[in-house]
Structures are given as structure tokens and as C-alpha cells.
Amino acid sequence: MDVTQISMFISYHLVAMTGALVLDMIIGDPEHWPHPVRWFGNWIAFLEKRLNRGNGRRRKGFVVVLSMLVWTIGIGGMVVYTAYHVHPYIGVAVEALLIAPTIATKSLADAAIKVLRPLTEGEIERARYEVGMIVGRDTDQLNEGEIARATVETVAENTSDGITAPLLFALIGGAPLALFYRAINTCDSMVGYKNDCYGEFGYASAKTDDLLNYVPSRLTAFAMLIANRSYDHLSFRALWRLMKRDARKHPSPNSGYGESAMAALLGIRLGGLNMYKGIPSHRPEIGDAKQPLTSAHIKQSVAVMRRTVFAYWFLLCVIGGVIIVITYPWG
């Protein structure tokens, strides 16, 4: 691929990425529509059932990652290549349609609002049920503050995992790379656990997910701080210091950046005690507890997420524009 082609394909990816984002904001992920994450999940479950046993589980876990490479880069790449071969406009349209399911702006906001509504109406049991649909921790005993914390943490983490990271990969490699990222993210969420069952088998999935999220998580935290005002009127420098102080406390090398940026902006403390199937798990505390967590912080976190996504999209457009200018054959 020469520099002229790089300029051309970055242009196509920018348009497809933008179209996908608009499409996701309008229709989201309708429940009964086909969705690649469900397909990925079914395939992962199929392989896990057959491979996660006996000796060599870590080696077998790499088969899952490699199979995702075949499904997304291989088959997905062939579909996109064929579409562009017919006509560039068709290629852009196909890419936009394939990228859209990899991002979840509307779905993430809707899921948070589903928790917020019963919480503000005093229906604590319904709020526990709704938050249980988006987190893995036990929710049957959570109070309002803990329900709000679980929701805000989910919004913060998934701003990168579910929206900005796939947008970055869509800019770099179009729909195939965005689909590959989403597939690996699904692998990690299903088998990337450090326990007796998945510790070896999920090793490749977890490490690949960590690698892919390294840059997007940090860019997302930067965009989050740039695009949003502090609810405690802190300067950007003060917010940055708080984010840097707390980001590495998180057990994940990447998730702590979004959560610490969100905590700094809202003036709240995240982390603490979670229960998983009755087993306590102590997460490091992130942020300064300048005020108690309430349902109002759920609404604020959604607003932060939306502004962050717009800022991140703008940042990607600038990056893409610079690449186009540099690689365009002006002479």
C-alpha cells in the first residue's frame, strides 16, 4: 500500500466511522437485530466447552484469539474488500454498518438510565435488578449509593471499551480491525478471569485485550478531562494529577484510567467492597469522596460519557486529517 492509498483509505474510514457513530446514536442495538457480539459469544462458548480441559490450556486459549483473527480480519476483510471493489461508496456504507454494532453509545446510556429511573422513584428492588443486568457483582443487597457506584463505574469503563476504543481501531483499520477489537473484548469478558477455571485458558484473551486497550484507555481519559468541566471546579492540572494518582490502583492496567478520570470530575470515590457469588472482593478506592454517591451521579456520568465521545471523535478526525495531509500526493 503506497501513501496515496493510505490517504484514500483513512478518508474512507473517517466517513465510515462517523456514519457508524451517528447510526449508533440514533438506533443503538435493537434487541432482535443480528449482532456480532452475540455471534462472538456463541463461538467463544463453543470453543471453551471443547478446549478448556486437560493439559495445555494456555496454548489452547491462543486458538480462541487466532480464530477471532480469522473471523474478523480474514472474513470481515474479504467482505469489505469486495464492497469497495464494487464501488467506494458501497465500501464506506458496508464499513459503517459493520462498525456501528461495535460501539454502544446509546446502549450504554440507556442501560444507565434504566437503573436511574427506578432509583429516583424509590423502587430499590427494580434498580438492583437493572444494575444486575450490566455488572457481574452481587446486587441483591446494594443500597442507593452502591447501585450508583456500580453504574458509574460501568459507564466509565465502557466509555473506552464499548465506544472510543473501537472508534480508534475503525480509523486505523476500518471495520475488520474494529470487529477484531470487539471480538477480543468479548473473549476477555467471557474467559479472561484469574481463577481456577479460566486462569490458563483465558490468558491469551486477557493479555491481548490489555494490549489493544493500552492506547485507547489513556486517550479516552485525556478526552474525558478535556471535554468536561469539573463538578468541583478543579483545574485541568488538578484533575490530571488525581487521574494519574489513582489510575494504576485498579487491578486492570487500563480500566483505571476511565474510572479515575470520572471520579475526579464528579468529586466522588469509586472502588471498595464488591461481592461476587457471596465472595468479597476488595477493590482499591479511586477518587476523593467529596460527596456521597447518589442517583444524580448516574445522570452526570452519562453526560460526561457523551461529551467525551464527541471530543474523542473530534480528536480522531484531527489525527485522520493530519495523516491525510501528510500522505496526500500534493506534488
Each residue's pLDDT tens digit, 193-217: 888 889 999 999 999 999 999 999 9
Percent above pLDDT 90 for the chain: 80
| pLDDT for residue 1 | 60
319/171 Cα distance (integer angstroms) = 9
The pLDDT mean for the chain works out to: 93
pLDDT (0 to 100) of residue 193: 85
Which residue has 492540572 as its cell numbers? 237
Is residue 327 over pLDDT 90? Answer: no
pLDDT recorded at residue 161:
93
DSSP string, 258-321: HHHHHHHHHT--EEEEEEETTEEEEEEEES--SS---THHHHHHHHHHHHHHHHHHHHHHHHHH
Whether the predicted pLDDT of 29 surpasses 90: no
Which residues have C-beta within 8 Å of that of residue 279, sequence separation ≥ 6? none
**How confident is the model at residue 28, as a pLDDT?**
87
The pLDDT tens digits for 236-283 are 999 999 999 999 998 889 999 999 999 999 999 999 988 888 888 888
Q: Indicate the pTM of the whole model.
A: 0.94
Owner of C-alpha cell 469486495: 82
How many Å from the N-terminal Cα to the C-terminal Cα in the chain?
18
- Say if CB 279 and CB 324 are below 8 A apart: no
How far apart are the C-alpha atoms of 287 and 153, rounded to whole Å? 12
Distance from C-alpha of 263 to C-alpha of 246, rounded to nearest angstrom: 9
Query: From the CB of residue 144, how many other CB atoms can be counted at a distance below 10 Å?
Result: 16
Q: Are 287 and 268 in contact (CB under 8 A)?
A: yes
pLDDT at residue 292, as a whole number: 92
Confidence of residue 2 (pLDDT cuts 50, 70, 90): low
Please state the rounded mean pLDDT for residues 62-89: 95
